[in-house]
Amino acid sequence: MNTIGNKIKNGLGIYLGLPGAVYILFFGKLINCIGAFISPLLSLILTQKIGMSVNESGFFVTMAMVIQAPCVIVGGKLVDKYGGKKVIGIFQGLSGILFMICGLINPSRELAILMIVASAISSISYPAYDSIVGDVTNLKNRKASFSLIYMGLNIGFSVGPAIGGLLFQKHLELIFIGDGFTTLISAALIGIFIKGKHHKSNENTDENSLEAAEEGSVLSVLIKRPILLYYALAMLTYSFAYSQWGYAIPIHLEQLFNGSGAKYFGILGSINGFVVIVLTPLITALTRKYNIIKIIATGGILYFVAFGSCSIIKSFPLFIVMIIIMTIGEILISTNSGTFLTNNTPESHRGRVNAVIPMISGIGTSIGPLIMGNMITSLSINKAWFVVSMVVLIGSICMYSLSKMKHRNV
């Protein structure tokens, strides 16, 4: 017990003495995710409130993701040119205003379209967060910094989905207004307290030559560093599986517990956030010295177990066990993926690499709802879960093979 207690203490200790900008990003993520009501309930908003079929909602969510792809690329370019602070302030702020306007519109296809527009504008700011972290950290404190921001995200998500689930049936407009308002607060916090365009340090490039600035396009950087592309393709299978957390699991819960799907999904979301809060420091401490890619591969195996179990479980307590397994996998993946990308990216191209690589891996998120919706309709949700588990297992095996490549900071 003392050993475990010491590990938890050491895990919390790694969050001390980090750059000030990291703490601002932590609080920004925390506030934003406390009000993240829309995304976790999107499939239920489309099906139950707007009246789309499961198939149609899957297509709609996929189209929303496809539209975001070029927006993220534009965001990466803007980050490298103008800095992450301005990109977050402008585009996250604008999306917050649009989400609040959504609260004034009755459930309809017009509302669905405005949701797409707001989400697309918000996605322009996505590359900015990891780019700022890369600029202000070094090899010694980078993993702890990404871990802390991930904690902020999940502390917020431990509260947000539960509130959203309670508001869903009778106060849908408050879901949109609350989401937009917290988005504005988060953008303002980052815009006011993070100073300057970039926060680069020569210490980064002295420790790690892979972070040295380079000339040329992002394509030339990726050609020189093929491991980044291989990594993105393996992560595509992870994102395909993880997209079902927000899409298929609410639908599955609604099928099993008619009328209580939103409530049970909110509970699972809170458990997911609670497990992250409790275990992230411990897991970060326990895995600090291990190969980053092997840790990410292990996270994929846990996804395989969790999503595969959805094909056979029918009781809510077993869904709780499933979400705990999935969350441990999520922690392993999320606290290491940003570190891996930053360690292997020139500081001159952080915005663009943080746009392109997640865009490639995010194809899994884009096609996940569409494919899952078709499988649920043509096969069954249980068979569909089996397919999901096989896809992520293949990705985990491929990810593990990357650890064999001779490459620094893997």
Dist CA 358 CA 236 (whole Å): 9
In a domain, residue 209? The reply is no
Q: What is the average pLDDT value for the chain, to the nearest integer?
A: 85
In a domain, residue 7? The reply is no
Range of the domain at 140: 14-195+214-402
DSSP per residue over 67-111, as a string?
HHHHHHHHHHHHHHHH-HHHHIIIIIHHHHHHHHHHTTS-SSHHH
Residue count of the chain, please give it: 410
Residues 77-131: pLDDT tens digits? 999 888 888 999 999 999 999 999 998 988 888 888 898 899 899 999 989 988 8
The predicted structure's pLDDT at residue 3: 57
Domain count for the chain: 1
Residues 148-181: pLDDT tens digits? 998 888 788 777 777 887 888 788 888 889 889 9
Residues 12-29: pLDDT tens digits? 788 888 999 999 999 998
In a domain, residue 208? The reply is no
CATH code of 138's domain = 1.20.1250.20
| Helices 363-378 and 381-402, packing angle to 10 deg | 150
In a domain, residue 202? The reply is no
Q: Which two tokens stand for residue 2?
A: 């003392």
In a domain, residue 4? The reply is no
In a domain, residue 308? The reply is yes
Q: Collapse the DSSP code of 57 into the 3-class scheme (helix H, G, I; strand E, B; otherwise coil) and give the result.
A: helix
In a domain, residue 41? The reply is yes
Residues 327-383: pLDDT tens digits? 999 999 998 998 898 888 888 888 899 889 988 888 888 788 888 888 988 888 889
Q: Considering the chain, what percentage of its residues have pLDDT values greater than 70?
A: 93
In a domain, residue 408? The reply is no
